[in-house]
Chain A
């Protein structure tokens, strides 16, 4: 029986309603699984035809948004590919052309991009127009500077070029309201910082701080106005990732870098606890995930003896010291904010781990034993905390993350302690049993919940 006939059969049985979209493509374009399920539910008299109507209408409205979104994505992709293609064609170097022709051609894509942006701004065109034209203009600016540098053999390395490119395209995100402009700005800024800062004896890319700060107000506005949009989700990951990559350029490779990153990850994790992020799905909470994974990784490294015993306390460069202190203070400030806004509902050790290690680091000159022991205890406790959160939230992912943390800690101690083999063996068996036991516990809990909810619904 085809869907249309099926649909009409339901109509006859209900008798007292009219269907708005019985023949429309929208209805037939609906998720077929959902469609079958709706039919089954209606047939079993679990939901009324009225509700079927409402659900159909809901998906109909949702479907209407889809072509527009696709148009935006294809528009941006088109502009990106055209712009990048242009740069590649320029890179070929057409040495048969006279200099004047090449110079005029260098300005052509730039002016074209500006006309497109001006048109989409003045005529208040759709998002697709704005995003595509902004993407094209940013790439055209890069192409124009590249071509002029090529025509006149202008010296200067990639970092100078990126710097100028970023500087004269940065306002576009605000003036056009373009989110893709923000994404490109972040990518270019991270590239600039990495190219300059990670090169041999490279200088500290101070300008990156300004470039990064420039993007933040736009991002905050997006978080407030469109917290659930796809692009905000992408930026939730991209912004902390950019900072995570660039922060390493502020060190000269000494042991303080561990503290600097620990402060950064602590700050990120706490940012992830602010309600605007906490309300979102975990996979969209980039700050919390990056902060947690980063902290766990670093703390595992810090649980080794060498950091507390062998790594010397050196005199660190001022820039590195300042950055570390600033990150710790920022992390603490977010914690205070969370307290003041009453956004801390239960005690979560992950939020304080960076402060504990920071305090331990300050006592490093008094000895090393307490540092090693307390860090190991902290990592093990963090593992237990993750297990607890996992069980409370019914999340296998978080539960096994906690178990993994404990396992990694034990594997690390396997190498640098003098415990005898029997003891180490028992430890491994205990953690292995812990994996089975806790997962079983969660499974049982979920089963119980399911039975309870079934009983309630029957009542």
Chain B
């Protein structure tokens, strides 16, 4: 192969290497700019990832839904349609195996271990990356706050066309980073 073809292929590869993260950025920014925000009640835990660092896993209160349909042994993707409840938090409106004709926002999630009329699922936006010095304290401080007071922890998620971007995690209306900072200052 001539050097020209090699060079062309090399630059094409460079373009793909740039495109992959750029496309990831675009998708997320689009959902953040034009998507609908929802507040999902949650509980954080603290594991870590070798490349992306420390994160907190968010255990959302929404993890199942009662339907008329029988879901025995169903494994696969489902469409979870969302609404906002009277307190302003996200709630499930309906769950379907296929997309339906409605203007309601939806998220596509994987579902497994189903029996009877209850469909179980894990919301996909369950990782929130944090500064390595704050992730563990985030878990502890939020757990303490929820025992002592009636503070509510929620993830602010922007939803658009099935895609969901977790923008930040809040304790009442304080971003989790601020909350942990205050907690760490109190502990010193």
Task: Select one of B10, B18, B50 contacting A118, CB under 8 A.
Answer: B10
The interface bits of chain B over 38-71 (1 if a CB of A lies within 8 angstroms of the residue's CB, else 0) are: 0000000000011111110000000000000000
Task: Select one of A87, A154, A158 contacting B28, CB under 8 A.
Answer: A154
Q: Is A175 touching B124 in the complex (CB atoms < 8 A)?
A: no
Complex: chain B residue closest to A144, CB-CB: B21
One of A161-169, A242-250, A356-364, A387-395 contacting the partner: A161-169
- A117 at the B interface (CB under 8 A): yes
Q: Shortest CB–CB separation between residue A398 and chain B, in angstroms? A: 41
One of A89-97, A260-268, A280-288, A320-328 contacting the partner: A89-97
Q: Which residues of A contact B165 (CB under 8 A)?
A: 152-153
Q: Is B14 touching A114 in the complex (CB atoms < 8 A)?
A: yes
The interface bits of chain B over 134-169 (1 if a CB of A lies within 8 angstroms of the residue's CB, else 0) are: 100000000000000000000000000000011000
Given contacts A91-B132, A92-B132, A93-B54, contact A155 B126 (CB under 8 A): yes
Q: Is B17 touching A114 in the complex (CB atoms < 8 A)?
A: yes
Q: Shortest CB–CB separation between residue A271 and chain B, in angstroms? A: 28
- A121 at the B interface (CB under 8 A): yes
Q: Is A149 touching B52 in the complex (CB atoms < 8 A)?
A: yes
Q: Is B134 touching A95 in the complex (CB atoms < 8 A)?
A: yes
Q: Which residues of B contact A103 (CB under 8 A)?
A: 25
Complex CA gap A110/B15 in Å reads 11
Given contacts A155-B124, A155-B126, contact A122 B14 (CB under 8 A): no
Complex CA gap A158/B55 in Å reads 13
Q: Which residues of A contact B24 (CB under 8 A)?
A: 145, 148-149, 152, 154
Given contacts A91-B53, A149-B52, A155-B124, contact A175 B9 (CB under 8 A): yes
Q: Is A142 touching B51 in the complex (CB atoms < 8 A)?
A: yes
Size range of the chain A interface in the assembly = 35 or more
Q: Which residues of B contact A90 (CB under 8 A)?
A: 51-53
Q: Shortest CB–CB separation between residue A106 and chain B, in angstroms? A: 6
- B16 at the A interface (CB under 8 A): yes
Q: Which residues of A contact B20 (CB under 8 A)?
A: 145, 164, 168
- A438 at the B interface (CB under 8 A): no
- A171 at the B interface (CB under 8 A): yes
- A176 at the B interface (CB under 8 A): yes
Q: Which residues of B contact A171 (CB under 8 A)?
A: 9, 13
Q: Is B17 touching A141 in the complex (CB atoms < 8 A)?
A: yes
- B11 at the A interface (CB under 8 A): yes
Complex CA gap A151/B22 in Å reads 13
Complex CA gap A137/B16 in Å reads 13
Q: Is B21 touching A106 in the complex (CB atoms < 8 A)?
A: yes
Q: Which residues of B contact A149 (CB under 8 A)?
A: 24, 52, 129
Q: Shortest CB–CB separation between residue A147 and chain B, in angstroms? A: 8
Q: Is A153 touching B128 in the complex (CB atoms < 8 A)?
A: yes
- A53 at the B interface (CB under 8 A): no
Spell out A's residues near B (CB within 8 Å).
87, 90-95, 103, 106-107, 110-111, 114, 117-118, 121-122, 137, 141-155, 158, 161, 164, 168-169, 171-172, 175-176
Q: List 22 A-B contacts (CB under 8 A).
A: A90-B51, A91-B52, A91-B132, A92-B53, A93-B53, A94-B131, A95-B131, A110-B18, A137-B17, A143-B51, A144-B21, A145-B20, A146-B51, A148-B21, A151-B28, A152-B28, A154-B28, A158-B50, A168-B16, A168-B20, A171-B9, A175-B9
